[in-house]
Amino acid sequence: MFSDEAEIIIQSGKGGDGCVSFRREKYVPYGGPDGGDGGNGGDVIFKVRNSLRSLSWIRSRHLFKAQNGQNGMKQRKSGKHGEPCIVEVPPGTIIKNIQTDVLLADLSHDTDEIVIAHGGRGGKGNTHFMTSTNQAPKYAQDGKEGIEIHLKLEVKLIADIGLVGKPNAGKSTLLSRLTKAHPKIGNYPFTTLYPNLGVMYISEFDSITIADIPGLIEGAHKGAGLGIRFLKHIERTKALLYMIDFYEEDPFQQFQLLFHELNTYHPDLVKKPFYIALNKIDVMENQIHQEKFKLLLSEITTSPYSELITKDNIFLISAVTGEGLETLKNKLYHLVETHNVHTTNNNVLTNEY
């Protein structure tokens, strides 16, 4: 399962204690009770924030605690309610009680908000306990304790970018450079047998997810190789990155093959916004890869793809040395952001094949 997990402790606020107090006024010798009520403790509320993609900010903080209610005061003044603690999570977050393994919430929509731990109620002040036989109650209620729950949060990750390329093009290497994922990398075709997913961070809060799928070969749409089994996941990504081994003979032909396989599998795949990464430039002389690049551009210009591809959509990179990756990273992020249509939980990548 591609998921991001975090274990946290939440504590709702304790209710404030009710107050025991009596009116003390200059000319009122036997003033009645005037102790105010305690304020309620704050709730712990989970709220979906659509722009969040992972639980990373939550993992860096272990305890989430709402404020206690204030105690009641004399002159019937109630204590203030405690401020809630709001925990923002990405859409699709599942919240479980670790101790009981009970599912507490499944937050799939961006408007979802749920109180997971209610704050303790504030205690009543002594004004509530006056009876005909007890005109001066010296008793007030204590505020109720808040609750503490150990939670496990899990979010199924949605891939924003799908990496498509022939076997050995360097997709897994790129994923390992842009994210913290550790996919298997090997100098042979079909190193990747199952999709890998990684989260690429631009800042603490801004990230996109990238899926690396097994390499595609000719006839993939008819089931050749492995990649076809995983194209259904690519179908739901927002954008694609075509990975081309630029050291290989015919980069344009590699691109055409990939495009053709995707198009034959499902025409919607090739309608997605995409970039092309020309990888492995570290093993080529500067002049050679520049010439090869020019040739590729001229081939594109005179092809039916000329409408779809401009020079600005192509990036020369080395996934091994890191050359060109900073630019590519920013471009990929903005590509996703500008096509940030709301994705549903159907877009979840799972390992259930």
Ligand X SMILES: Nc1nc2c(ncn2[C@@H]2O[C@H](COP(=O)(O)OP(=O)(O)OP(=O)(O)O)[C@@H](O)[C@H]2O)c(=O)[nH]1
Q: List contacts with ligand X (CB under 6 A).
A: 165, 167-173, 185-187, 189-192, 214-215, 279-280, 282-283, 318-320
User: Cβ distance 53 to 340 under 8 Å?
Assistant: no
User: Cβ distance 255 to 270 under 8 Å?
Assistant: no
Which C-beta is closer to Mg ion: that of 64 or that of 230? 230
Distance CA 353, CA 350 (A): 8
**CB 176 → Mg ion: shortest distance, Å?**
10
Other beta carbons within 10 Å of 244: 24
Q: Can residue 189 be called a binding residue for Mg ion (CB under 5 A)?
A: no
**CB 256 → ligand X: shortest distance, Å?**
18
Q: Where are the alpha helices (DSSP H) in 153-269?
A: 171-178, 231-234, 251-265
Of these partners, ligand X, Mg ion, none, which one is at the site of residue 189 (CB under 5 to 8 Å by kind)? ligand X
Largest CA distance in the chain: 103
Which C-beta is closer to ligand X: that of 8 or that of 217? 217
The arrangement of strands across the sheet holding 274-279 comes to 196-201, 207-212, 161-165, 239-245, 274-279, 314-316
Selected from 50, 191, 256, 303, the binder of Mg ion by CB under 5 A is 191
**CB 296 → Mg ion: shortest distance, Å?**
23
Of these partners, Mg ion, ligand X, none, which one is at the site of residue 283 (CB under 5 to 8 Å by kind)? ligand X
Which C-beta is closer to ligand X: that of 64 or that of 246? 246
Which C-beta is closer to ligand X: that of 54 or that of 192? 192
Of these partners, Mg ion, ligand X, none, which one is at the site of residue 179 (CB under 5 to 8 Å by kind)? none
The CA–CA distances, whole Å, from 172 to 112, 118, 167, 211 equal: 35, 45, 10, 9
Site string for Mg ion, 149-178 (x = CB under 5 A): -----------------------x------
Which C-beta is closer to ligand X: that of 181 or that of 270? 181
Distance CA 312, CA 177 (A): 22
Interacting residue ranges for Mg ion, rule: CB under 5 A: 172, 191-192
